[in-house]
Amino acid sequence: MSIPFWCVFIAALLIYAAKLPVARAMNAQTGGYDNHHPREQQARLSGFGARAHAAHLNSIEIFPLFAAGVLMAHTTDVFGWWVDLLAILFIVSRVLYLLFYWRDMASLRSMVWVGGLLCCLLLMLSPVFRWLMVQP
């Protein structure tokens, strides 16, 4: 399996890793995890719990864009260090994003979010870059 595909797998796991602090906050802030109405309970979270929930939701939101970028690069036979680097940088940005969100470091969180978004967009545009490089 290629590095970008491994990164897609890791990005999928990060969605669920981001859920763990939410569950912990739900248990701590509201006296136990309400498995009958978890979304209502999540809506009542504050502080760290609310930030953890928002980070989890953002992990879900960005995943399709990253997966699409990797698939666009793969299906057009764009390989090499550039695609690998973008995929790895995306994962690094997402780990930092989660840490910065949990620690309420809003400016740093926003910067790494933009970096991750750029990785996704550049992955999606990688077929164009490849086409430009092979044109006479």
Q: Tell me the per-residue pLDDT of 107-130, one tens digit each, with 9 for 90 and over.
A: 999 999 999 999 999 999 988 876
CB-side exposure of 54: number of CA atoms within 13 Å?
17
Average pLDDT over residues 59-78: 94
Q: Check residue 97 and give its pLDDT.
A: 98
Q: Check residue 34 and give its pLDDT.
A: 82
Find all residues with CB under 8 Å of 129, minimum gap 6, and list them.
78, 82
Delineate the domains of the chain, giving CATH numbers in brackets.
3-134 (1.20.120.550)
**What is the distance between the alpha carbons of residues 92 and 25, in angstroms, rounded to a whole number?**
24
